[in-house]
Structures are given as C-alpha cells and as structure tokens.
C-alpha cells in the first residue's frame, strides 16, 4: 500500500511539473492611456497560479517591484494608475511564484518643444538603450513608429522609421487644440502600444477675421487709404503694402501700431495724377509673421483733356479686381469756386462736358467720386483733381480817340481771363517809350509821360501776359491815335 501511495504521489508530482512546465505568460499590450500617465497592461496566461505584475521601481530604474497580485485568472488586463508614465518610461513583466515570467515590455516617454513663431513642435521619445540610470532590458523590438496627431479632433497618422526617436511637426495652426502621441508597432506582435499623449493648445493672440479696404482719397500728391479691422483681434501691428499692378510684387510702404479698428494709411508722393497703385493691409503677430490680408484696393486716376469747348474725362475702375458695381459722381469747379455735381453714372469710365456757355471763365477743374454699391454715401473714394483751361483770348482795338467826349477815349486790352502777370508798353514812331504799366486794369489815355497829348498818328504797343494756367502770351502791333 505504501508503495502504491508513493507511486501516486510521484505521478501527481510529475503531472504538476508537466503542467507547470507548459504554462505560459504573454504580455499582449502595454500602453499609456491618458495624460495622467496611467498604463494598461494586457496579457494571456495558460497556467493556474496567482500571477504578479512587476514594474521597474520609480526611483531605482534597474530594479523591479510587484504592483499587483492577480488571483482571478479570468482577468486579462490591469491599469496601473501609479505609473506616472507621463514623466518617464516604465517597464513591466508578469510572473508566477515559479520561474515562469513574461517578456519585459516598456512604454515610450514622449517629450516636446513647441515654437509658436516657427509654428512647429519637436517630438522626442526615449531611446531605452541610452537611458540613464540603467533601464530594465526591453525584450520587444519596435518595427515601426507612427506619430498620431489629432488636430481639432481630426487624426493624421505619420509613419516614422523604427531607427528614429524624434520628429518635427510643421505648419501648426494658431489657437488650435492638438493631441499627439507615438504609436509603436512591435516585431512579431499583433497589437500596437501608445506613448503618453502631449496635449497642446497653440496659443497666439487672435488675428483679425477680416481687414476690409474701404476707400482711397487723393489729397494733393498723396493718397489716403482707409481700412476697417475686425474689432475682435488681439493684434495691433499692421503693414501697408503697395504694388503697381494687381499681380505684381508688393513693397512695404509703412508699418502701423494701433488698437483702433479704423486705420487711415497714407502714401506720400504717390503721383496720383499719373500712377495707379494697388494697396493692401496685412496684420502682423508678435513673431513678425503675416496673418490676415485685406482685400485689394486702388486709387482712381482721372485724365482731363480739352478741345475747344469740349472737355473729355476718363478714369480707371475703382476696386478693379472685384465685380462689385460702383457709381461715379463727377464734380466741376470753375475758377476755384465751390465744386458742383454735374453728373452721376453707374459703371461708366468716361464723361464729356461742354463748357461753351462758360467761356467767360478760363479754369475748369474736375474730380471723380466712386461710391461702392451697398455702402454709405459718406464712404467714397476720390480721384486726383484734373484741370484744363480755355485758350486765352485777347482783344486789342486798332484805334482810339482820346478827346474826352466819353466815347473811345482809352486804349486797353480786353482779356477772357485775369492775368497773373501783365506788362504793357507804348512806343512812338522813333522807338521812344511813352507809356508803361503792369496793372491790367489801367488803360492808356493818349498822353505821354510828360502828360502832353500824343499827336495823331501810329504808335507801337508791346503786350506780355501770363494766364492762370501759366501760359505766356506776347503780342506786338500798331495802334492809331486819332484827334477828331
């Protein structure tokens, strides 16, 4: 009987040994599951004993400690809430009381450097072989890394070679939420593991949603450009850019610092009578980076020509790069009097003005106002002022009778304009100067400098005048003095 009992015990021990020898523990996944650094460990176990989850010690990396005892073998995963895997890599192993244990599998610790001005984030994840102090050997070998990027909830997945442990994400958007983590594909494993996530909000001062170019108003040889800026912006720096064509290179004219939401920029010496310039305003953030562009706007160049009494006006479109309709108002000023509105048209670029009824005046100046449809009449753009002049007309009588009878007693030139310079001289037939004046309103009364009456006969006059448009007229001729 004793021999039989010994034999049974030996048999049972043999089968227990066989069972123990074929029991297996396989870790199937180790991942950081949140930004608190909690780690989920999953496994498969074919034995029947209690198993233990081992983790490298927090302070002494080359040692391990038991962090959990699993007696319910239906449990296949465990969440380590004390891992602090958001501060360092962690290594895990699962074991029995015996020598049976799993591979050692570690997490990856992801760090980052964000540069708001370059709009990039540099990622680095630990190279476990170079970790100091020594790290427990990682039995799994990565075959591929993936950089997972959630940009406002939209996922991008970028493959990175298993030989790399850094990556730079470019062209990040301002004021956007990002969540980034490294996903590891392991050699010979079906599942992938995740690193700790990086949560980032790309905080930057809010750029304006819009900058609207409103108007261009010519003031002498300068152009004033008005812009409206989104009041919700947090920026206060702007650049005024100019080009000589809609698609050409733009040059910076001026930089402005303002917290106002209406900006009137100035282009000095813009040559508004001959040059069409195109303008836009751009907001600049604290990194010197351009953010919001305004729409394009241009000045109106008015060209005015005269042919006898017919004045022709031609101008370019306001906001040439849009299909928005404008109405144009034509203003005329005569001899520097107050301007008056003489015409209003939609989508026309020319106008003809007949001034025959105004020939008693000599100076005619015009400008155009453009009013964009749907805007206030006070929001107008204004062209340069273009002036033309009637050809100076001078009438000089051929003879006069200075006998004080109240009829034709004086010799005087008559003008269609008011001279700004005047020189009038009378010579006798021997070439002697007998009368001179620089006052266009003063007439010759037929007397010489000595106040003697000039004898009947032919005399020579010389006239030099300058008109308001700086045209100089010189004229010589004969005048007959008759004493009835």
Question: Terminus-to-terminus CA distance in the chain, angstroms?
Answer: 185
With 90 as the cut, is the pLDDT of residue 56 above it?
no
CA angle in degrees (0–180, nearest 5) for 429-435-437: 140
pLDDT band at 21 (very low <50, low <70, confident <90, very high): low
330 plus 355 within the same structural domain: yes
**Across 318-328, average pLDDT:** 76
Closest CA to 446 of 480, 484, 477: 480
* Rounded distance between C-alpha atoms, residue 162 and residue 140, angstroms: 12
Q: Is 73 helix (H, G, I), strand (E, B) or coil?
A: coil
pLDDT band at 319 (very low <50, low <70, confident <90, very high): confident
CB count within 10 Å of CB 136 equals: 23
318 plus 274 within the same structural domain: no
426 plus 377 within the same structural domain: no
* Rounded distance between C-alpha atoms, residue 294 and residue 233, angstroms: 14
**Across 415-419, average pLDDT:** 82
**Across 386-393, average pLDDT:** 86
Q: What percent of the chain has pLDDT over 90?
A: 72
Find the CATH number of the domain harbouring 448.
2.60.40
287 plus 341 within the same structural domain: no
221 plus 264 within the same structural domain: yes
- Where does residue 298 rank: exposed (0-12), middle (13-18), buried (19+ CB within 10 A)? buried
Closest CA to 363 of 392, 343, 402, 325: 392
**Across 73-94, average pLDDT:** 93
383 plus 402 within the same structural domain: no
Domain finish residue from 247, 274, 298: 298
Residue 313 included in any domain: yes
With 60 as the cut, is the pLDDT of residue 17 above it?
no
Closest CA to 201 of 114, 263, 264, 126: 114
**Across 59-68, average pLDDT:** 65
Residue 184 included in any domain: yes
**Token representation of residue 257:** 């610092």
pLDDT in tens, 267-307: 999 999 999 999 999 999 999 999 999 999 999 999 999 99
Residue partners of 405: CB distance under 8 A and separation at least 6? none
Residue partners of 348: CB distance under 8 A and separation at least 6? 328
375 plus 409 within the same structural domain: no
**Across 245-264, average pLDDT:** 95
315 plus 413 within the same structural domain: no
* Rounded distance between C-alpha atoms, residue 54 and residue 41, angstroms: 11
Domain finish residue from 249, 280, 298: 298
* Rounded distance between C-alpha atoms, residue 26 and residue 314, angstroms: 87
Beta bridge partners of 303: 314
At 146 the pLDDT is: 97
Residue 38 included in any domain: yes
What is the domain range of residue 332?
Answer: 302-389
Q: How many domains does the chain have?
A: 4
Between 484 and 277, the more confident residue is: 277
**Across 112-124, average pLDDT:** 95
Residue 6 included in any domain: no
pLDDT band at 100 (very low <50, low <70, confident <90, very high): confident
- Contact by Cβ (8 Å): 467, 362: yes
271 plus 355 within the same structural domain: no
Closest CA to 111 of 123, 127, 119, 129: 123
Domain finish residue from 139, 169, 204: 204
Residue 142 included in any domain: yes
Find the CATH number of the domain harbouring 29.
2.60.40.10
At 51 the pLDDT is: 93
Between 55 and 325, the more confident residue is: 55
With 50 as the cut, is the pLDDT of residue 34 above it?
yes
Rounded to the nearest 10°, the torsion over CA 178, 181, 185, 186 is 180
With 90 as the cut, is the pLDDT of residue 3 above it?
no
With 70 as the cut, is the pLDDT of residue 343 above it?
yes
Residue 13 included in any domain: no
Residue 342 included in any domain: yes
At 298 the pLDDT is: 95
Which of the 8 DSSP states describes residue 274?
A: T
Residue 4 included in any domain: no
**Across 396-405, average pLDDT:** 93
At 74 the pLDDT is: 93
* Rounded distance between C-alpha atoms, residue 64 and residue 218, angstroms: 81
- Contact by Cβ (8 Å): 370, 381: yes
381 plus 251 within the same structural domain: no
88 plus 170 within the same structural domain: yes
With 70 as the cut, is the pLDDT of residue 127 above it?
no
At 60 the pLDDT is: 43
**Across 446-460, average pLDDT:** 94
- Tell me the average pLDDT of the chain: 89
28 plus 163 within the same structural domain: yes
């Amino acid at each position: 009987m004793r021999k039989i009992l010994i034999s049974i015990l030996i048999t049972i021990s043999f089968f227990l040994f066989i069972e123990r020898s074929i029991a297996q523990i396989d870790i199937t996944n180790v991942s950081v599951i949140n930004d608190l650094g909690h780690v989920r460990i999953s496994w498969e176990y074919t034995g029947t004993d209690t198993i233990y989850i081992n983790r490298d010690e927090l302070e002494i990396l080359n040692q391990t400690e038991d962090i959990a005892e699993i007696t319910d073998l239906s449990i296949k995963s465990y969440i380590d809430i004390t891992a602090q895997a958001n501060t360092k890599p962690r290594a895990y192993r699962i074991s029995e009381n015996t020598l049976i244990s799993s591979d050692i599998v570690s997490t990856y610790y992801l760090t980052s450097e964000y540069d708001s001005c370059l709009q990039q984030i540099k990622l680095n994840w630990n190279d476990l072989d170079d970790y100091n102090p020594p790290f427990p050997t990682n039995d799994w070998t990565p075959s591929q890394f993936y950089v997972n990027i959630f940009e406002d909830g939209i996922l991008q997945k970028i493959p990175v070679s298993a030989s790399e442990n850094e990556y730079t994400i470019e062209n990040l958007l301002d004021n956007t939420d990002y969540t980034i983590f490294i996903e590891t594909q392991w050699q010979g494993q079906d599942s992938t593991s995740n690193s700790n996530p990086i949560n980032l909000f790309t905080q930057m001062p809010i750029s304006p949603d819009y900058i609207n170019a409103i108007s261009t108003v010519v003031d002498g040889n300068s152009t004033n450009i008005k812009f409206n800026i989104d009041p919700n912006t947090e920026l206060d720096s702007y650049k005024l850019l100019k080009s000589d064509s809609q698609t050409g290179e733009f040059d910076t004219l001026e930089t402005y610092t303002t917290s106002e939401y209406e900006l009137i920029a100035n282009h000095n010496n813009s040559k508004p009578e001959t040059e069409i310039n195109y303008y836009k305003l751009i907001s600049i953030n604290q990194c010197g980076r351009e953010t919001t562009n305004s729409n394009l706007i241009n000045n109106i160049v008015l060209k005015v020509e005269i042919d006898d009494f017919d004045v022709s006006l031609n101008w370019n479109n306001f906001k040439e790069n849009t299909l928005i309709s404008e109405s144009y108002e034509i203003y005329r000023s005569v001899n520097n009097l107050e301007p008056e509105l003489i015409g209003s048209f939609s989508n026309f670029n020319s106008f003809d003005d007949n001034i025959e009824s105004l020939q008693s005046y000599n100076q005619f100046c015009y400008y155009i106002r453009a009013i964009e449809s749907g805007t206030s009449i006070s929001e107008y753009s204004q062209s340069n002022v273009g002036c033309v002049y009637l050809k100076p007309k001078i009438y000089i009588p051929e003879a006069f009778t200075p006998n004080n009878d109240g009829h034709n007693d004086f010799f005087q030139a008559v003008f269609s304009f008011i001279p700004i310079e005047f020189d009038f001289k009378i010579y006798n037939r021997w070439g002697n100067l007998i009368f001179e004046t620089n006052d266009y309103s003063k007439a010759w009364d037929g007397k010489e400098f000595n106040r003697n009456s000039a004898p009947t006969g032919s005399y020579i006059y010389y006239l030099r005048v300058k008109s308001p448009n700086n045209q100089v007229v010189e004229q010589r001729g004969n005048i007959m003095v008759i004493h009835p």
